[in-house]
Structure 1
Amino acid sequence: MPAAKRHVELFIASTSMSRKEKMRLANEYDLEVLLEHTERFSMPAAKRHVELFIGQTYIDKLEKLKLADKYDLEVLLDHALKLYNERGDYRVMKGHINLFSDKTKNITWRNFWNSPIDSCYPPRNKSRKMPDPPPNSPIDIRAHVLYDAYQSISTEKSYKNYEKLCEAMGKEAISIEEYESLYNQYHEEDERDLPMPDIRGCILSDVINGKTAEKSIDDLCDAFKNHNIDKEDHDYWYNRFDSGHLFTRVTFSDFPEDVFAEIVEKCDINFNLRKVSCGLRAIVDQLAPPWSDIEVTCGDTGINVTVDDARIANDSNWNVLESLLRDPKLRLKNFEFHTDFDYYDVYQSTDSVIRLLSSLDHKIQVKNCSILSEEAEDLIRILRCLKPGTLERMQIMDGLNFADFYEIVEMDQWKQAKHLNLRFYGDFPPMEHFLHFSTIIYFGMITMRDIVNLGDVILSVSKWTNFEHIQIENQSRLDKEDVTRVLHLQPTASPEVYTIPNSNLFLQFLIFSYSSQYTLKIYKK
């Protein structure tokens, strides 16, 4: 079972308690978010139990009606309308009735016209307060009594069934005298006037007494004929109890951390799991955010922020980026910052983003960064905001000159990175600044003078213990024969692959269909 479904299941398991405790739990949970859980993960049985739980709380009847209408909860709708005992009760609906669906409107109006007109006569049984079950009861005793009474089970035998339930759940049973008092009072009640019963105790009793699932659902439907008993819901709990599992109360602190991690992983940015409860919020806040990729683009539409391929902000609300980046637990795989230089306002947008990055009280932990910025100063300011050591791949998309280059190579972000994509303006830079990289893709000019000096470079490269390859995409035409002659390359069986003497390196000439320019790739096998 996925962790998110497990989360809803554990909430359901925590609802076997007194009315007072149920009201406390209703205050702690956002019940509508729980209903969203059940719909999001297609959990009709769980949705049924959240519906039953809402019906048993003291939540305002209008709120119950709204939830029933929004999530198409027929049982809750029927229950909520029964709380409107006379026409005077419908005054609170003024201003709300037009928001309901046509189906709910029709049922509500029908219920209104069938309600008593004279409010001086209280509805049947309203003057007699129904007895509350004992606190901390492991089951809904009222439902248990009514179910046993329907089956013509005596008080003594019903109490023995109740004792079996308490024993199975490891709970202390009330005295037989107290049980008989409740039994007699509940037995006189009209089932139509009662809130929706929690029938899980009845199902567990059927399992303990060896009743088949088919007989159990038939008896429950007959016993509670004024409440819709869902067969799928019943079968879920019957099979669960028959397998030896109970609905023991579990708190959020009992969840293992990996369960929460999986819950968060399956939720997108707009699914606010933290709203479910204070307990869940506290534990979720301890986990690293699940997002892996952030892309920030400054262009004609201002600032746009994309997280995991989903655009979440634009120029009007881009500050959502701040809430993401200020979380010190954020661990990114990719961070991209690109600017479109064709627009004047891009400079102001770029500065706003960089000032945000610089204001963080921690450096961003990211493995791969890609930066396209016309101003080298902006590039350097962004690199300073990334954590050295964590940063493995640097992709510098716009050209650097020598002055900028020598400032960057002194940064820890450069020295501790492993992979480099670099676009450079000017002559080929000194190779000594590249020897710690495993892979290099270089865009820039390389002249014949650089080719002549390449012998020394190759010797340096051959001493690279972590070297994998270097690819030089030249901006001017390379003469293949000159390169072969200068480096004393030796041919191999592949026409474009050569060996470099006195080394374990190979050189490959690559040519692309869209250009006649050669690209050099030196690699080690």
Structure 2
Amino acid sequence: MAEIPPNIPIDLRTLIFYNIYQQKTIEKSYENYEKLCSATGKQPFSFEKFENLFHLCSKESLSRQAFMNKKNSRSYLIFRDLDIRLCVLSDVINEKSTEKSIKDLRKAFGKETIEKDDHDYWSERFQNSSPPFNLLTFSDLPIEIVMRFVERFDIAEIRQLRNVSHGLQKILDEEVKPPCKKIQINIRDRGFFVEYRDDFYLEMKIEAVEKKERERKEEIKVEDVAILFKEVSPELKNPKLRLNFLFIDLVYDYSTVSGHWAWNSHPEFNEARQKRIDDFKGFLVSMNHKIHSTFLTMTASNVEDVTTVLRCLKSGILRKITLTIEQKSKSTLNIDEMAATDQWKQAKHVTINKLISSSIEHFYHFDTFDIRVQEISIEEIVKLVDALSKSPDFTACTIYKRNCLDTEALKRTLNLENRDSLQTYPIPNSNLFINFVSGIKITQGEEDPCSLTFCEIKLNRNWRKKRECSLKYPK
């Protein structure tokens, strides 16, 4: 179904929906619309353009009505973006009483949607004024003044402001930096949720859940994908967005079978989930700028999805990548394509929680990395040590090896001195140290393997800060 053009003013769309509710014909509606344009000093659309818009609104109204009938709800509950000024002006010009006007508007759009104070303000203003009526709003202020106001607002308040007018929406989406510093997007078999946070405690969640299996047998719906894109697009598409953290979860749901975790393999769920993920990746690729985020934490079902997302982030800004690949099989990961991206090459820290089979050379440039490998030869470790010793920024790395490593042969190859197995060995002719307490750990400078690592200390510190913040600002 064709969509209503986004550049059509919200007040005109609201007026047309109001006319449809009142069962006015296209001709009567256009005649009324021309009166309103004359009263406000605006140039009206041609009848052909108005007629096309009227048909689009009629189709959308019928579609929404059918959907709400299935839910046994009133149709007005689905109207969220409203501007009733033209509706009120129309009622005033047509000499409808204030009481009758608000009663009809509430029947059309819902009592909770139409606020009496707002209606009475515009009604009194039009009744006590003469044409041309001034419909200027907050969005008509100079952009510098608008930005001073909205930069003080949180993400939820900005979301509400976007509904005021198309002009203000454009300012908010292109000129104002969104206040959120963290965005988490989870796309699952049965639905999705998006969470926004700032540097402190602000939280706003948007959630949509698919129908239950017994309800899905009638019809598989993926409309929530469009809802998701509508909800995340204002922030992600804003070139001024500056994220500290971006969390993306694109894996299947799990279910417990006989006490063990199992993959949800229902074909309908898998089909809907795959469609949702593919559409989401297409949405990211379609953006005309890269997302500005310092950290990416991602869970996915394959490396290809991760590579797609990486390419949509701004290289040089992205510093840390944390990946969890939840594959069904026990096969290792080939990260060659992912490692060829500029985002990977310019990142400084990486953690991959899955066995990889690609060359260790992909990690030479990182300051820190934490990986798991199926196999790594003594020759590869020697080359790694040589590369890391020449890196001015290298700090530490940990390599977990699935199969046993001949540590004695490695000690002889690196000319390590004889020490207790729990100790850290200095590597001759370098500023590096190595220990084998937990996999292969190489550090710049000696480190006590029994002490907390820097990452563990930072995690504990962040957990304490988060705990203190939740106590100070309870939900």
TM-score normalised to structure 1 length: 0.45
Structure number with bigger Rg = 1
TM-score normalised to structure 2 length: 0.49
- Larger relative contact order (CA 8 Å, sep ≥ 6): 1
